[in-house]
Amino acid sequence: MSTILALVEHDAGVPRKVSLQVLAAARALADDVHAVAFGPGAADAAAALGAHGATTLHTFDDAAVTSYATGPHAVALAAALDASGAGVLLYPADPFLTDIVARTAVRRGAGVITDAVDLTVADDGLVATKAIFGGDMLSQCRVRDGHQAFVGIKANAFAAADDADGEPAAVSSLAVTLSDEDRRIEILDVVEQESGDRPEMTEASIIAAGGRGLGDAEGFQLIERLADTLGGAVGASRAATDAGWYPHQHQIGQTGKTVAPQLYIGSGISGAIQHRAGMQTSQLIAAINTDPDAPIFSIADFGVVGDLHKVVPALIDEIERRSE
């Protein structure tokens, strides 16, 4: 396969974990992988991205692309597609990048496949596997000939390279001119909640989730402790976010987020179909619930029938003891 362009996100020049997974997915398909990164410090990612297989890093380090105003990013992404000559774009399937890719796809006449968990090359091009209908079904999709293919990669579906020893990527600055049209969204403020060192839920390898069984907002302190003990993120059922016990952006399920971590541990979550639609493709599922008939046990790899207020503190102690 000819050149693949990988859209990467970075924090002050340090590529995010999912971006390295996207590079690994690209590298498995193509010999020549280019990367594109936006915002101040983008060029500082060249060494790490090169180590993970990118030969060239296209950058647009204008401050207009520091936070997600969409317009400037879409213009810069189109410029990177031209500069790299890539026929395939792989990107981390997160909401903001989805906006950017959506706009660019309309401009470029590209086809978009979101949330791919596997990629193969068939005679007629790239075939992506994704879960649909809340994980009830798997579909295999491709982009028709004659169109660029933009494919969003689901977090944790691919492993980042463990032999990251490539040469630094050559940095190439994109020539991008922004018009007033591209700057129609003004960002007035960016507010981040305190979450300690916890990873973001949609890209975490481990998620500790809590639901109605926690009883109140204070119950989430227990889930946060469990998450921190495992280096994971905190998720919540809709019952818990509706009750105001935890912020909505942590809601897993039909009307919230879809997650597929390596390990999901649900405490006090019965596992209604609407919740399962957001987490049932997790690689490993553990559940703690007082009700032996809770539907979550039908999809759990390991279940504990018991009181989470007793089991979770004991579990935290067990994990800490075994990690010493």
Tokens of 300: 């759990």
- Give the interface segment with another protein, choosing from 21-29, 56-64, 81-89, 281-289 (CB under 8 A): 281-289
Question: Do 309 and 289 form a contact (C-beta atoms < 8 A)?
Answer: no
Q: Which of residues 91-110 bind another protein (CB under 8 A)?
A: 94-96, 98-103, 105-107, 109-110
Residue 254 exposed, middle or buried by CB count within 10 Å (0-12, 13-18, 19+): middle
Which one, 83 or 311, has the nearer CB to another protein?
311
State yes or no: residue 252 binds another protein (CB under 8 A): no
Q: Draw the binding track, 126-155, toward another protein (x: CB under 8 A; -: no contact).
A: -x---xxxxxxxxxxxxxx--x--------
β-strands 125-132, 33-38: how paired? unpaired
State yes or no: residue 63 binds another protein (CB under 8 A): no
Which one, 169 or 214, has the nearer CB to another protein?
214
φ, ψ at 126 (rounded to 5°): -75, 135
Give exposure, 112-128, as e/b (b: 16+ Cβ within 10 Å): bbbbbbebeeeeeebbb
**In this chain, which of 14, 159, 217, 319 binds another protein, going by CB under 8 A?**
319
Number of residues interacting with another protein: please give it, by CB under 8 A: 99
d(C-alpha 202, C-alpha 185), whole Å: 25
* In the complex, minimum distance from the CB of residue 295 to another protein, in angstroms, rounded to a whole number: 11
Question: Do 193 and 246 form a contact (C-beta atoms < 8 A)?
Answer: no
Q: Which residues pair with 131 in a beta bridge?
A: 138
Q: Which of residues 207-246 bind another protein (CB under 8 A)?
A: 230, 241
State yes or no: residue 87 binds another protein (CB under 8 A): no
**In this chain, which of 123, 162, 192, 324 binds another protein, going by CB under 8 A?**
192
State yes or no: residue 175 binds another protein (CB under 8 A): no
